[in-house]
Amino acid sequence: MIIKRDKRKHTLKIDYSHVIPGALLDSIKQLNPFSMINNPIIFIVEICLVLMIVLTINPNFFGVSILTKEINLAISILLLLTVLFSNLAENIAKHIGIAQAESLRIVHGDIEVKRINQNGVIEYVFASQLEKGNLIKVQEGDLIPLDGEIIEGVASVDESAITGESSPVLKEPGTDFASSVTGGTRILTDWLLIKITSEQGQTYLDQMVNIAETTERQKTPNELSLSVLLIASTISFLLVVVTLPFVLSYLNITIEISYLIALLVCLIPTTIGSLAVPIRISGFEKVNSYNVLSMSEKSVEAAGDIDVLFLDKTGTLTFGNRIATELIPLGTNSLNDVAKAAYIASQFDQTPEGKSILSLAKTLGINVDPEEIKGTSYEFSAHTRMSGIDLESGDTIRKGASDVIKKLVLNKKGKLWPNTEQLVESIAIQGGTPLLISRNYEVIGIIHLKDMIKAGMKDKFKELNLLGIRTTMCTGDNNLTAKVIANESGLDDYLAQAKPEDKIHLIRDYQTKGMIVAMIGDGTNDAPALAQADIGLAMNSGTIAAKEAANMIDLDSDPTKIISIVKTGRQLLITRGALTTFSVINDISKYFAILPSIFTIKGLEVLNIMHLTSNISAILSAMIFNTIIIPLMTPIALKGISVKTIDPNKILKTNLIYFGLGGLILPFIGIKLIDLVIGRFI
């Protein structure tokens, strides 16, 4: 069983001790030549294995040989282990993904849930019976069966089964990313009333399972380029080794076929050829562990090369819900008078804006006795655009859109203070929404509603600057509003009054300059830009059109998640670059072990700087090292090289130096130590 249940935390954990046996079995099955041909470098090693098996059975098959069957058998075993270790590295990465999928599926089992019917009565049904739009109640210890939106309640939710993070997340209605919940997560405290927003089989969890179980994935452009380079070098070495016996025959020098096979296998880049796929798969899985649904590995890799990032404003940088931030008294009215009237009028406004006004009034010390709020009430509606009450005491209180309240006051021949219009325009120019408060048909104050910027934006976008990425906000708002939001968010630039076609043209302009462009948005008007960009990250709180156009969806609707995505992409590229450098230089170092042993040409003995015991010991030592280096480097390929928020070129340079020197020195040490051991038995 790959999955274990943690009884103390009520969660499921992957038992990785079961990953290797399954991966090993698949590695053996993958020895099928039709499977191996997908990895040309290791496929050549397998062909060499077949030739060595023939030589093990009959050492003189290709001519008279002085090597024994035992030596040929040892070389055959090393070649088999090389192929198996290569397959194992790939299959471990795949099986970790499958294990994650299995854990998600177990978490997402067909559990019994509490559904609220049309009469408001709780009925017990299975999760498979739920439909989009159903209301369910979840309490402490319950699993959330499907993706949904919180309607009521506040609770701590354990999202570790999805995100891998152990810290609980506070969920409540009326916010952006904190008001959405994901199927497969668990309620730790209190309760929530949730409206189901996904169909059966279409939840984030279902998509994660499908992604985790996908084993056949297309190679990315960078990986294709690397493959071409590695295959070209492999073909070059192959041609050299194949033609070498004919060249040496003119010099009356004979060479063992077994030695030529050993030379070829040690020279071709078997290390990076074995680790390229694990690097790619692990990077893809890491992005999904951030609660970001990635549609392709191409987008993950491209994220490492991002030069420019464009962001939408409303719903991306800001929450999209306007919040009351300020109460402005007019004329001779006091702040307390305005706050009390706003509090009373907002009792009949159940919108997020109305609730925010109540919260602001409470922070100012307003707490009205319910007995004072009696009379004929008028609830807020999209038609009237105002709310209020005619109190039994005789006072008439209204709160609403500025044009509606002004019209009401003027029709009743009420009082409008001279500076009202100026203050309303000032708030509007800054991108805010002004609401007016009237008492007995006198406008006594203004409420400033503002679309609040999501927390931590400025500090997070500083990290993007350190990563060398330029940030630009694209918004349809006026220039002043755009400037204020861009400055408060810590962005480099902004584009005001931008239409969808303007965003596309801007992205294309950068792309024609050879730059990699990312776009983050949530609206239907962002869809064309999301589709055009190299990396399109849509907010889960956004429209269906935006999510369909993007190649990544952030389930938490947090635009700063792009930093983690960029770091993962760069980690993938840097890891691949470092291991490629190690592999190439590692092969060069092995020349000094192989060449003096193969060619009995006078003068070549000076290359035997390691002073290896014998020709056979040198060959076997080099091949053993070539074999064991693959499993030794596999953990690095799966984990990736650490990436810090400094100049990526410096990170790449540093890692290339470390792995370049490692690839140069390690073979000398490793081969010599192996020779000291096996030299005693040969």
Between CA 171 and CA 653 the distance in angstroms is 43
Strand partners, 41: none
Between CA 35 and CA 253 the distance in angstroms is 38
Closest to 539 in 3D by CA, of 310, 352, 312: 312
H-assigned helices in 599-647: 615-639
Amino acid at 480: L
In this structure, what token pair is assigned to residue 549? Answer: 């156009």
- DSSP tag of 277: H
Closest to 86 in 3D by CA, of 140, 19, 30: 30
Q: Which residues are catalytic?
A: 312
CB 539 within 8 A of CB 554: yes
H-assigned helices in 250-269: 257-267
DSSP 49-81: HHHHHHHHH-TTTTS-----HHHHHHHHHHHHH
3-class SS of residue 494: strand
Q: What is the dihedral of CA 484, 488, 492, 498, to 10 degrees?
A: -40
CB 188 within 8 A of CB 232: no
The label of the residue with tokens 């038609």 reads 383
Between CA 538 and CA 575 the distance in angstroms is 27
CB 466 within 8 A of CB 490: no
278: part of which helix (H) or strand (E)? helix 270-289
